[in-house]
Amino acid sequence: MSPVRSPLVVRGAIRVPGDKSMSHRALILAAMTNGSTRIRDILVSADVYATAGALRAMGVDMPALSADFVVHGRGLSSFHSPESALDCGNSGTTTRLLAGLVAGLEGRVARFEGDASLSRRPMGRVAVPLREMGARIEFERPDRHDSLPMRVTGGALTAITCENTQASAQVKGAVLLAALASGAGVTVREPYRSRDHTERMLTARGVHLIVTADGVTMPPAQRLAAVDVEVPADPSSATFLVALAALATAGVLRLEQVCLNPTRTGAFEVLERMGVRIDREEVRTVGGEPIGTLVVSPAALCATSIGGADIPRCIDELPILACVAACAVGETWITGAGELRVKESDRIRSVVDNLRQLGVEVHELPDGMRITGTQAALTGHVLTHGDHRIAMAFGVLAAMPDNRITIDDPGCVSVSYPTFWRDLAAAVDHTAVDRTAGDRNAGDRNAGRPSPLVIAIDGPAASGKSSTAQWVAQQLNVHHVDSGAFYRALTLVALESQVLPDQWTPDEVMALAPRITWRLTDRSVLPLVDGHVRDDAMRDTPVTRHVSRVAQMAAVRHWVNEQVRSAGSATDVVVDGRDIGTAVFPTAALKVFLVADPWERARRRLIQRLGRRPNDPEIAEETEALVARDALDAAQSAPARDAITIDTTTVTQEEQVERIVALARAARERRQGP
C-alpha cells in the first residue's frame, strides 16, 4: 500500500523570467543591426550578462540590462577585437553564438574563456563548420583539442552545407550568424529540428530563409532590419513550476506568457503523457513566437519513455523530468540523450547519483537512465556541481512536504533563473497547507512543511545587528545572511574595474553584479566573486572606504535585496540589515529591532574600532556622529509594525542572543503547528 502523502497545495499565477535563448539572440542581433532595438522583459541573469559584457568588450554600446531598454546598434563595423579575453562565465550559448559572429567578421580576433564547467564543454562542434567556412579557430590547451580557451579569427567566409549531427541550436545559430556577418550563404541540416529562435528572429528582421523539414538555407548578402523584442517567459524555467504543480496534491497553478514555440514544448508534452493536465490559454503570437498561459493541476503520475525526437525538444528539462519520474508509478526510460553528458555538468551522472542517494532506484545508461518511481519520502543532500538546472530540479523535490532534501549550492540558479527560490515558495499555498495538515494529520509535525524560516534583525547603526544575528544563527543551527557582505562584494569588483570610484554610475556597478553569486557554507550564505571566496579583500580598507557609495545606489539596494530574498527562500536564515523586516522580508516569522542608547552604541563601536576602552570625549564625538547618522537613516531604519524591539543598552550580548533565540524557537513552533 502506498503511503499517504502530506498535502502540497499550489496556487496563483507566476510569470517566470524571460527566455534565455531568445535573450542572448535579442542582444546579439540588436548589436549587429544598424538602428535601434527596444528590448522588453529580457532575462536578467548571469548567462545573459556574459553575452552583454562580451558585446560591450567588442565595442557595442550596450546599456545595463533591465526590464525595458534600447540598444542603439551601429552595425557590423562597430565591432572591434576585444582587448582582453571574452569572459563567457558558465554560458555555452554566449561562447558558441559569439564564436560564430566573430568568425564572420574579417580581421577581428577574440579569445574566449569561461569558468571550470564551461572549460570542460566541447567547442569542436562549432570549430569544425566555422573552419570549413574559412575562419581560424585555435584551442590553447595541448591536452584538450576542443575546449576553452579558444581563439577565433574572423575571415571572408565561403558558403558551406553544415551537417549538424547533434541537432544543436547553438551550432546552427553560430553558423547562421557567421554567414550573416560575412555576407556568405549557408545551409544547415539537422537530424531533428533544434530550437528555431534564430530562424524566427532573422525572418522577423527581413532575412530571407528557406526552411525545410531537414534544415535551413540562408542565401548570401542579407540585411537586418531593426525590430523590437518582447521576450516571453522561458518554457524551460516554467517547467520546474509545472512539475511542482504536477507533484502537488491539490490546487491550480497558472504560468503566464510562456513561450510555446513547438521546438521548446517537449517537456510539457512528456508531462501530459505522464498524466498531468496542462491547459493552454490566451495563446497568441508575439514577435513571431507563440506564447500563452499554462494552467496546471496535480495528477496521478505514471511512467513514460522519453527518446528520439523528444530529446532536442526537452533537452534542458530532462533533469526535472527525471525527478518527476522518480515520483511516478512505474519505470521511466530516458534514451538518446547522450548530449546531457556535456551540459553544465554531466547531467546523466548528476541526476543518477543524486536520485540514488535520495533513495530512488535508478539505472545509468550511456545515453540516459531508467528510473523506478517511488511513493516513499526522499531524504539526502544534493550535490549540484554548480549546475543551475540540477539545483532547481532537486529544489522541486525538496519543496514536497515529506521529503527532507538539502542542496549544496542553491545560489547557482542565478545562471538562468535568479528568482527561482522565491517563485517556488510563492507557488505553494502555505495557508491551505497549514489548514489541511491540521485537519488531516493533527500531531504530524512534518505535514505541509512551510517555506524556510526567516528571522529578521534590524536596527540603527552600531546596534550590534550583525554580531547578534551571527550568534543567533549559530544557536538555531541555521544560516546567517549578512546583507552588507553583498554590498562589499560588489564594491570589491567595482574597485577592480577600470573606472575610478568617483565616476561609478549605478549602470556600471550593476553591470558587474552577475559576477557575484552565493553559496551556502555550514554556517552562512557566502557571497562569491567570480565563484571564489574573497572574504579578506571584502573586509579590507579600500572596500570599507567606498562601500557606502555603492550601497546608496537604488538599483544596487534592489539587487542585494533580491540576493538576500533568494537565499531566504532556499534555506532557513537569520538575516540582518537595513529594511530587512520591512522591505525585504515583510512576512518573516520573527522580526527583531535592536535599539540602544546612542552613548552606549558609540562606546561599543569604539571598543571594536580601537581595541581599547575609549575616554568620554571620544565617546561624545562618536555619539554626535551616530546621532547625525540616525537622522539621515530615519526613513530606512523604521522598525516593522510587528517587530519586537529589544533595548540592549543595559543587557549583555549573551542575554540579548538568548532572548532572540527563545523568540525564534517559539516562532518556529508556531509555524510547525500543533
C-alpha cell recorded at residue 79: 565591432
Counting every residue, how long is the chain?
674
Q: Which is nearer to ligand S3P, 201 or 242 (CB)?
A: 201
Binding mask 109-148 for ligand S3P (x = CB under 6 A): ----------------------------------------
- Is residue 320 involved in binding ligand S3P (CB under 6 A)? no
- Is residue 47 involved in binding ligand S3P (CB under 6 A)? no
- Is residue 164 involved in binding ligand S3P (CB under 6 A)? no
- Contact segment (CB under 6 A) with ligand S3P among 163-171, 290-298, 453-461, 542-550 equals 163-171
- Contact segment (CB under 6 A) with ligand S3P among 35-43, 137-145, 165-173, 536-544 equals 165-173
Q: How far is the CB of 60 from ligand S3P (least distance, A)?
A: 19
Q: How far is the CB of 226 from ligand S3P (least distance, A)?
A: 22
- Is residue 168 involved in binding ligand S3P (CB under 6 A)? yes
- Is residue 169 involved in binding ligand S3P (CB under 6 A)? yes
- Is residue 93 involved in binding ligand S3P (CB under 6 A)? yes
- Contact segment (CB under 6 A) with ligand S3P among 130-138, 139-147, 164-172, 249-257 equals 164-172
Q: Which is nearer to ligand S3P, 126 or 478 (CB)?
A: 126
- Is residue 21 involved in binding ligand S3P (CB under 6 A)? yes
Closest CA to 96 of 214, 212, 198, 215: 198
C-alpha cell recorded at residue 80: 572591434
Q: Which is nearer to ligand S3P, 190 or 482 (CB)?
A: 190
- In angstroms, the CA 379 to CA 402 distance is 9
First-to-final CA distance of the chain: 27
Q: Which is nearer to ligand S3P, 316 or 387 (CB)?
A: 316
Helix (H) or strand (E) holding 465: helix 465-476
- Contact segment (CB under 6 A) with ligand S3P among 5-13, 169-177, 592-600, 644-652 equals 169-177
- In angstroms, the CA 94 to CA 57 distance is 13
Q: How far is the CB of 394 from ligand S3P (least distance, A)?
A: 18
Please return the burial class of 77, using the count of CB atoms within 10 Å of its CB with bins 0-12, 13-18 and 19+.
Answer: exposed
- In angstroms, the CA 177 to CA 138 distance is 19
CB 126, CB 94: distance < 8 Å: no
- In angstroms, the CA 483 to CA 496 distance is 21
Q: How far is the CB of 356 from ligand S3P (least distance, A)?
A: 24
Q: How many CA atoms lie within 13 A of 569 on its CB side?
A: 24
Q: Which is nearer to ligand S3P, 316 or 482 (CB)?
A: 316
Binding mask 289-318 for ligand S3P (x = CB under 6 A): --------------------------xx--
User: How far out from the chain centre does Cα 79 lie?
Assistant: 29
- Contact segment (CB under 6 A) with ligand S3P among 49-57, 166-174, 240-248, 272-280 equals 166-174
C-alpha separations of 13 from 20, 251, 296, 427 in Å: 21, 12, 10, 8
C-alpha cell recorded at residue 578: 537595513
Q: Which is nearer to ligand S3P, 348 or 489 (CB)?
A: 348
137-146 LR contacts (CB < 8 Å, sep 24+)? 137/99, 137/103, 146/122
Please return the burial class of 248, using the count of CB atoms within 10 Å of its CB with bins 0-12, 13-18 and 19+.
Answer: buried
- In angstroms, the CA 127 to CA 124 distance is 5
C-alpha cell recorded at residue 484: 552588507
- Contact segment (CB under 6 A) with ligand S3P among 167-175, 420-428, 633-641, 650-658 equals 167-175
Q: How far is the CB of 342 from ligand S3P (least distance, A)?
A: 8
Q: How many CA atoms lie within 13 A of 499 on its CB side?
A: 15
403 contacts: CB under 8 Å, gap ≥ 6 = 358, 377, 378, 379, 397
**Strand 368-372 and strand 361-365: pairing?**
antiparallel
> Which residues within the stretch 178-207 sit at the binding site for ligand S3P (CB under 6 A)?
194-195
Q: How far is the CB of 189 from ligand S3P (least distance, A)?
A: 15
- Is residue 237 involved in binding ligand S3P (CB under 6 A)? no
Q: How far is the CB of 343 from ligand S3P (least distance, A)?
A: 7
Q: How far is the CB of 550 from ligand S3P (least distance, A)?
A: 32
Q: Which is nearer to ligand S3P, 52 or 315 (CB)?
A: 315
Q: How far is the CB of 258 from ligand S3P (least distance, A)?
A: 16
**Binding-residue total with ligand S3P (CB under 6 A):** 10
Q: Which is nearer to ligand S3P, 201 or 428 (CB)?
A: 201
- In angstroms, the CA 23 to CA 231 distance is 7
C-alpha separations of 326 from 277, 359, 393, 635 in Å: 19, 10, 11, 50
- Is residue 95 involved in binding ligand S3P (CB under 6 A)? no
- Contact segment (CB under 6 A) with ligand S3P among 142-150, 162-170, 303-311, 535-543 equals 162-170
Amino acid identity at 290: P
Q: Which is nearer to ligand S3P, 21 or 561 (CB)?
A: 21
Q: How far is the CB of 312 from ligand S3P (least distance, A)?
A: 7
Q: How far is the CB of 344 from ligand S3P (least distance, A)?
A: 9
Is 402 catalytic? The answer is no
C-alpha cell recorded at residue 659: 532572548
Helix (H) or strand (E) holding 633: helix 616-633
- Cα dihedral 411, 495, 555, 31 sign: negative
Which residue is closest to ligand S3P by CB?
A: 21
C-alpha cell recorded at residue 435: 489548514
Task: Determine the 3-state secondary structure of 23 from DSSP.
Answer: helix
Angle 381-383-384 (CA atoms, 0-180°, nearest 5)? 135
**Residue of 117, 170, 293, 517 interacting with ligand S3P (CB under 6 A):** 170
Q: Which is nearer to ligand S3P, 251 or 312 (CB)?
A: 312
**Strand 573-576 and strand 86-87: pairing?**
unpaired
- In angstroms, the CA 502 to CA 494 distance is 11
- Cell 566555422 locates to 130
Q: Which is nearer to ligand S3P, 176 or 664 (CB)?
A: 176
Q: How far is the CB of 154 from ligand S3P (least distance, A)?
A: 21
C-alpha separations of 212 from 159, 177, 189, 193, 201 in Å: 18, 19, 9, 10, 17
The catalytic position among 196, 316, 409, 482 is 316
**Residue of 173, 418, 450, 464 interacting with ligand S3P (CB under 6 A):** 173
Q: Which is nearer to ligand S3P, 169 or 362 (CB)?
A: 169
Catalytic residues: 316
Instruction: By CB under 6 A, name the binding residues for ligand S3P.
Output: 21, 93, 168-170, 173, 194-195, 315-316
